[in-house]
A and B are shown apart, each in its own frame.
Chain A
């Protein structure tokens, strides 16, 4: 069974600075996807960034980028130029590509990020 671990329950950062959230996962699959979701106080689940395991290039979305280390099974999220609106719970998630567990997202425990003015 796949597992996703986020070892940082809480993080804080000053506005405009950079912060990195950590995530490790365990799987025997070779083809899969990894995600970071943002959950603000409204509780809505918002997809921040997605990485396909077969792509070596790290995904980037504006101020958000990932460091995907497939051999180490590590998938960290870097937020540059942090903004107050980035304050939220962040979840790392994993899913197989197709297969018997199609569509099932396995989530980490979450990291609460607070951006201070």
Chain B
């Protein structure tokens, strides 16, 4: 089954304790992206990757890191989480379409709480 998976689905942690949220897709997609969802703000892009070893900042990258060592995986790293990073996180992926657009497939979301 074609899908985007995220782990963990729920996480409660404390300020300053490094964590990684994994994202994996089995559709051979070049493009992958991370979003965070907050009430009243919708979803905002954190980081994206056009392909292996190619990543760039989105609109809200502060406090986050990413890597793209393999095509299928795009982990989100919070090296020193703070309470303002409490949010719902989504990973998404798609085929690259040049001048057009291909539908992005979203993961199931990760609910992160930082105390």
Seen from chain A, the residues whose Cβ lies within 8 Å of a Cβ on chain B are 4, 6, 9, 31, 33, 42-45, 47, 50, 91, 93, 95, 97-98, 102-105, 107-110
B contact residues, total (Cβ < 8 Å): 28
**Does the CB pair A109–B101 fall under 8 Å?**
no
B96 to chain A, nearest CB (A): 8
**Does the CB pair A105–B43 fall under 8 Å?**
yes
CA distance A92 to B96 in the complex (A): 22
Q: Is the interface of A mostly helix, strand, loop or mixed?
A: loop
- Contacts A44-B108, A98-B99 given; indicate if A107 touches B31 (C-beta within 8 A): no
Contact with A along B76-115 (1 / 0, CB 8 A): 0000000000001010101011111101101011010000
How many A-B Cβ pairs are below 8 Å? 61
- Contacts A44-B108, A97-B101 given; indicate if A102 touches B31 (C-beta within 8 A): yes
* Interface residue? B50 (CB, 8 A): yes
* Interface residue? B74 (CB, 8 A): no
Contact with A along B17-56 (1 / 0, CB 8 A): 0000000000000010101000011111100101000000
